[in-house]
Amino acid sequence: MYHRLACAVLCVLAVNAHAGTPIQESRPLAARGELTIDNLKGRIQVRAWDRDEVRIEGTLGDGVERLDITGDASDLAVRVRYPKRAGGMGVFKGGERSEPTELRLTVPRRVSLAIDSVSADVDVEGVAGGELAIDAVSGSVRAVGAPSDADIETVSGDITATLNSPKVDIDSVSGDLVLRGRLDGEVSVETVAGDVDIDVHDAVRVRSLKAAAVSGDVRVRAALAAGGEMEFETVSGDVTVQLPRTTSTRVEASSFSGSLSATGARVDKPQRGPGRSIDHRYGSGEGRIEIETFSGDAQVVVE
């Protein structure tokens, strides 16, 4: 009897020793203020509401030093502080001995967001402020919203984004990208060891779209604005571009060691040596589309 009771007490103590500290905080934050969120590992979730304050919930991981909330209503920062390793090795090394922290924040809809994470998944939905900046390492990113400027960088993590934004800039290493939305302005995407899938809403026409990939395929479905431009470049990856029949553009494509095709276009081949090229006009040729691949196929489908 005594032995069983002692074991039960020890089990409870062990669970409590690894249990995190609940987070329940709130701070004033201007409707169009700026918010920085920094969490080394775990999860960052952001949702929007129509209040001039930020609510911070979640669980602080065991071994974490503290949660820092600094700044004022116009510029606020929420940072998870991890203990530094002896010898001055820095926060990242100290974080190895700490449990993951989960942050759940509810923020003003028009706030500008800057999020930094290492080994933490990021999930943002509903924000429509001036800027959304996400920098993640070894964590997936999901973003849904309408910021004026979206800037996302990841290393070793997939990106899934649905954005109604006039400016989007995404860089990814070792992760796939799926991008959707009303992208009527400038879109720039670069990936290494990851596929790109971009689908622009039927009701809008993109003004500038640029995608570059190394060891990854690029697939784009979009309508081009009058006088707009698209540029695609891949190494060891295929390119597929789908355009509506109303497209007015000139298409110039070349491949060193891959096949080329375009609706209604002739493929030119040199008499000697590798390579193929296409130079074709659709409609009056107002826009410009350039495609260049090395060791990859490219096709343009107009339908």
pLDDT digits (tens, 9 = 90+) for 251-282: 999 999 999 999 999 999 988 878 999 999 99
pLDDT at 92 over 90: no
Q: What's residue 85's pLDDT?
A: 62
- Give the mean model confidence (pLDDT) for residues 121-149: 98
> Is the residue at 95 inside a domain?
no
Mean pLDDT of 166-173: 98
pLDDT at position 134: 98
pLDDT band for position 97 (cuts 50, 70, 90): confident
- Mean pLDDT score of the chain: 92
Q: Do the domain assignments include residue 96? A: no
In a domain, 201, yes or no: yes
Q: What is the number of alpha carbons within 13 Å of residue 140 lying toward its C-beta?
A: 8
Give dist(CA 242, CA 223) in Å, integer: 8
CA dihedral 89, 92, 94, 95 (to 10 degrees): -170
Please give the Cα distance from 132 to 121 (Å, whole number): 16
pLDDT at 95: 52
Q: What is the mean pLDDT of residues 95-118?
A: 93
153 part of a folded domain = no
Number of structural domains found in the chain: 1
Task: Using the predicted structure, report yes or no on whether residue 301 has a pLDDT greater than 70.
Answer: yes
Task: Compare 5 and 120 and report the one with higher pLDDT.
Answer: 120
Tokens for 119?
A: 């080994």
How big is the chain by its Cα radius of gyration, in Å? 24
Q: What does the DSSP assignment read for 177-194?
A: EEEEE---SEEEEEEESS
pTM of this prediction?
Answer: 0.90
Residue 214 lies in a domain: yes
Residue 168 pLDDT > 70, yes or no? Answer: yes
| The pLDDT of residue 269 | 93
266 three-state secondary structure: coil
Cβ proximity of 124 and 142 under 8 Å: yes
Count of CB atoms situated within 10 Å of the CB of 105: 24
What residues contact 105, with CB distance under 8 A and at least 6 apart?
Answer: 35, 37, 44, 45, 46, 47, 54, 55, 56, 57, 78
The contacts of residue 167 (CB under 8 Å, 6+ apart) are 148, 149, 150, 185, 186
What is the residue range of 257's domain? 166-303
pLDDT at 87 over 90: no
Task: Give 96's pLDDT tier (boundaries 50, 70, 90).
Answer: low
Mean pLDDT to the nearest integer, 102-110? 98
The pair of structure tokens assigned to 45 is 């979730």
- For residue 227, being part of any structural domain is answered with yes
* pLDDT for the residue 272: 80
What own/partner pairs with CB < 8 Å and gap ≥ 24 does 273-276 have? Answer: none
Q: How far from the centroid of its chain's Cα atoms is residue 87's Cα?
A: 35
CB contact at 8 A, 149 and 167: yes
Overall average pLDDT of the 206-220 stretch: 98
How sure is the predictor about 84, in pLDDT bands with cuts at 50, 70 and 90? confident
User: How far apart are alpha carbons 192 and 67 in whole angstroms?
Assistant: 34
Q: How crowded is the C-beta side of 11, counted as CA atoms within 13 Å?
A: 6
Nearest by Cα to 33 from 52, 55, 57, 56? 52
pLDDT for position 20: 86
Over 90: is that where the pLDDT of 13 sits?
A: no
Per-residue pLDDT at 90: 45
Q: Which two tokens stand for residue 61?
A: 């991981």
pLDDT at 284 over 80: yes
Assign 121 a pLDDT band (cuts: 50, 70, 90). very high
User: pLDDT at position 274, please?
Assistant: 85
- 264, part of any domain: yes
For residue 46, being part of any structural domain is answered with no
Determine the residue type at 79: R
Residue 212 has pLDDT above 60, yes or no: yes
Q: Give me the pLDDT at residue 278, please.
A: 98
